[in-house]
Structure 1
Amino acid sequence: MDPENVKSNLVLILDYGSQYTHLITRRIRSLSVFSLCISGTSSLKSIVDLKPRVIILSGGPHSVHSPNSPSFPDGFVDYVESNGVFVLGICYGLQLLVQRLGGIVRVGERQEYGRMEIEVVRACGLFGSKEVGHKQTVWMSHGDEAAELPEGLRWWRAASRGQWLRLRIGSGGFTAFSIIRRVDAGWNMEDVLNEEIKLIKGMVAPDDHVNLRVIWGYKERERVMETFERDLHLPVTCVDATNQFLSKLKGVVDPEMKRKIIGKEFISSFDAFGQDLEHKFGKKPVYLSKEHCTLIASVPWAWSCSASFGDVTEGNALDILRQVDEIFIQSIKDAGIYDSIWQAFAVFLPIRSVGVQGDQRTHSHVVALRAVTSQDGMTADWYNFEHKFLDDVARKICNSVRGVNRVVQDITSKPPSTIEWE
């Protein structure tokens, strides 16, 4: 990898808060082109100093009609025109371009989220061999739309429901289309990994060990211990901080507060154990003795807390969720479809449902099953289970898990929903 070549072919992304910004970064890097993401409100000097070949303006939750909506810096248009920098505007980024260049952006008649079909209305090399009339499924998430384009920009693709797609191509020096395919591909992740390995080796002596914290999701403790002890043959210390976490979460129902508490307690438990190691080994816990590698499985319930609504310490919500999730995941494995699903989990809902079990009326809990397909988690579609599979899983859950009498399936894509519920 030639560092100078990489720098001269930089694709710079100005981030305006889109959930897809890092996905854009990854997709460009997968083409062996280096991309870098910075704030959309960065100064003109910071942009100029990076000398980008291409600039992408990301989408975001803002509206160009809002008084405090973010924008690129003054002088940006003159800079890209005079230096031949190609610009691609996506969603909010495109609306920002249209407005700043003299076009008209209006509030859409309706907001659009999720899948949408678009159609090629004018032949263009950007779409490869796709001919006029070709249709393609894309993901939409927007409220505003470009009503009138500035001089020099043209429509190239349209949404099938009468709304124009937000990707436009223009002509001239200021071009809202990606020239990435013409950028020299000289960047690759393997070179980056080799450079990082050299950096780490320079920081850590051969006889030193680093204190690690591993996040591995559901059943984290069991999987971490098994991997490090059986596969890596490393001595591991497991610290169960369940009581510490649950005591802090007691009475908390707001999901954002739950996230902050869990994150804070992870760091707190990690630091506390590091201090114990400092006393034991007589030095800072960045590097440990040769004979001992320490890893914290801080709390086996941490993942479950984000899949359970309300106060997670109330009743036996976490026990129920763990049992339901175990049945669901094992059923997926038994059906031979585990590798076809991006993510699957159960959700404990904060409601009770009337049911009939054992000839008696019950008023028990409701759980939801969520399974999605995806490439990277940024967009996702719900997994279409066979009817018999769902029937079998629902029966197992209601018959095996005391306190549950209703099972529902989440069939919402991302967007408009996220994969997780809280």
Structure 2
Amino acid sequence: MKKKPLTRKPPLKKKTAKNHDVHEKKIVVLDFGSQYTQLIARRIRELRYYAEIHPHHISLKEIQSLNPAGIILSGGPASVYEKGAPQVDAGVFGLGVPVLGICYGLQLICHLNGGRVAASGAREYGRATLKARKASPLLKGVKPGQVWMSHGDKILKLPKRFSVIGVTENSPTAAFADEKARIYGVQFHPEVQHSTQGKAILKNFCSTICAMKPNWTMSRFVEEKISEIRAQVKGERVLLGLSGGVDSTVTAKLLHDAIGDQLTCVYVDTGLMRKGETDAVRTRFKKEFGIKLEIVDAESRFMAALAGVDEPEQKRKIIGKLFLDEFAAKAKELGHHEFLAQGTLYTDVIESVSVKGPSQTIKSHHNRVQGVLDMIKAGRVIEPLSELFKDEVRRLGLALKINRNLLYRHPFPGPGLAIRILTAVTRENVATLREADAIMLDELKTSGWYEKVWQAGAIFLPVRSVGVMGDNRTYENVIALRLVTSEDGMTADFAHLPYEVLAKIASRIINEVRGVNRVVYDISSKPPATIEWE
């Protein structure tokens, strides 16, 4: 029997002078360990300029090879005068490329150019009011306004050729500049929401100082990425492991638009997904998108592998490895496919690599386990979203004409409900949590609160509580609700749901989910807590 010929997509038009690479000009952000580093790149991209993050310790030659239009030195927790403090090759100041230092970056510019930095009498943390002291393109059009401070050091002596361009009530050197060399520094964090003039300052740096054009758009990204995928894949076949979430859905649609039936998607049903998720994936990919889909029923194997395991990092590693094993078994059954694709995001790439090299990480990512890393090294992995943040993935999905309701679903962890069960993962515990989770989501949508919340999850706690149902004493499980508001997941506050909505969710869970007699609400912010409990 002859094989059905593959469906190929027509090639894109060749790039014209007007349709040049959107990565041609970029801001290179050198990361010194600030909790806000990702926000720098995000804010710049929101302004439609392309930015990417690299560790501070890359060589001068590597920095030059990136062909930056501008360089930003991020903040960081160290002090520049301490032994072993992270540095940058001072040659960056002689590249003829504009440089902007933020917080630690400002202090490093001062330190490496002959100025003096020392510990201040008191740490300055929180809101301050910035006022321009001298005309500068960095502060052009920036009115006096609130900025966010987070530092414990101060400038004692400016380097030669530098002058103060901005002050606050407690910082006589809140911003400085060497205008001739186009080197600037700000003591505050323009990338955070609390800095009301922050975007204007970053825009001035990108547009006026670095002479960049705002051409970072998802429609142009789609064109370039499809062309890139076709050039890489040629006539070969690609396997994509689906989770059914936003990232893998957008990845699948983008790949299918690029290479058609050369793509096969494999959905491994771990038994750890939300209620009705497998049926929804089947309908979406086969009927709506017309994408080849294979579903692997692996619930029993995942449950066996997770039996008795309650340590979070161990759960993640077991799930990641078993997913790869199940995926590999199905791939072998389907026949040879030359490429693996996955919906890795830029945050996954950044968070899996410390700015100081190998070090302790908060949590591992299932798409950065060793087996995948080996394939990446061999050049056999396609990760079309690996330079995008979550909000950009959603905008990409809209450009690909994916239904908005699907794109704006809440984030859901790759390991599924397993890391929302803070004890042993059993079929019974998963079933209990799945029902509680479904009720919570149903009430959020009914009340109109779903899109006001950035992420929502029910958590199965490792405790039992005494209760009374009817005339009987009960000793049953406790469910915690974790609902947060956020713009990007870097910081978050608990969602201030109306009491009547919380009461309805709790009442329904207790009455409808067997084995639960108490519901609690998590009112922690991030930081210090994380969004997920594990």
Report what 2:212 is aligned to.
184
Show the 5 A alignment for 1:119-130.
119-122=129-132, 126=138
User: 2:440, 2:470 → 1: CA distance?
Assistant: 23
User: How far did 1:417 drift?
Assistant: 2.7
What is the aligned counterpart of 1:197 among 199, 210, 226?
226
Counterpart selection for 1:213 from 224, 229, 241: 241
In the other structure, the counterpart of 1:148 is 155
**Is residue 2:304 matched to residue 1:241?**
no
Displacement of 1:304 after TM fit?
A: 0.4
How many aligned positions are there? 388
Q: Residue 83 and residue 226 in structure 1: after superposition, are their counterparts in 2 closer, same or farther (change >3 A)?
A: same
Give SS of 2:185's match. Answer: coil
Indicate if the aligned counterparts of 2:155 and 2:173 stay in contact, CA closer than 8 A. Answer: no
- State how 1:108-123 maps to structure 2 within 5 Å: 116-122=126-132
Matches of residues 317-396 of structure 1 in structure 2 within 5 Å?
317-396=429-508
Task: Give how far 1:49 is off.
Answer: 3.4
Please say if 1:275 is aligned against 2:332: yes
For the pair 1:30 / 2:17, whether they are aligned, the reply is no
**Shift of the alpha carbon at 1:342?**
1.9
- The aligned residue for residue 311 of structure 1 is 424
User: Do structure 1's residue 90 and structure 2's residue 102 form an aligned pair?
Assistant: yes
Distance 2:331 2:313 in 1: 27
Indicate the residue corresponding to 2:14 in structure 1.
none
What per-residue deviation string (whole Å, max 9, x for no partner) do you get for residues 107-127 of structure 1?
Answer: 896796xxx433224467756
Q: Secondary structure at the match of 1:59?
A: coil
Residue 116 of structure 2 corresponds to 103
Equivalent-residue separation in structure 2 for 1:351 and 1:312 (angstroms)? 14
Task: Report Cα offsets for 1:165-190 as digits up to 9, x if no partner.
Answer: 99634344332155113122153333
Tell me: CA distance 1:332–1:6, structure 2 relative to 1, closer, same or farther (3 Å): closer
Q: Is the 8 A contact 1:95 1:145 kept in 2?
A: no
1:368-404 Cα shifts (integer Å, max 9, x gaps): 2122223332333322111111111111111222222
For normalisation by structure 2, the TM-score amounts to 0.63
Aligned to 2:184, what secondary structure does the other structure show? coil
Query: What does residue 294 of structure 1 align with?
Result: none
Residue 54 of structure 1 pairs with residue 83 of structure 2: no
1:381 maps to a residue whose letter is: D
Deviation at 1:103, TM superposition (A): 3.4
Helix, strand or coil: the match of 2:293? coil
- Cα 1:223–1:4 change in 2 (3 A) is closer
| Segments ≥4 residues shifted beyond 6 Å | none
1:175 aligned counterpart, secondary structure: strand
Q: 375-384 or 344-353, which moves further after superposition?
A: 375-384
In the alignment, residue 188 of structure 1 is paired with which amino acid? Answer: W
Could you say what secondary structure the match of 2:28 adopts?
strand
Superposition TM-score, scaled by structure 1 size: 0.78
The question of whether the paired residues in 2 share the 8 Å contact of 1:98 and 1:146 is answered with no
RMSD across aligned positions (CA): 3.5
> Runs of 5+ in structure 2 lacking a partner?
1-17, 187-201, 246-272, 341-412
Aligned-pair identity in percent equals 36
Residue aligned with 1:408, SS: strand
> One-letter code of the match for 1:198?
S
Q: Tell me, which stretches of 5 or more residues in structure 1 are unaligned? A: 288-299
Provide the C-alpha distance between the structure 2 equivalents of 1:285 and 1:107, rounded to a whole number of angstroms: 58
How many angstroms apart in 2 are the aligned matches of 1:108 and 1:420? 37
Deviation digits for residues 269-323 of structure 1 (CA, Å, limit 9, x no counterpart)? 2112111112xxxx44659xxxxxxxxxxxx99310121213323x832222111
Structure 2 residue aligned with 1:21, among 14, 37, 44? Answer: 37
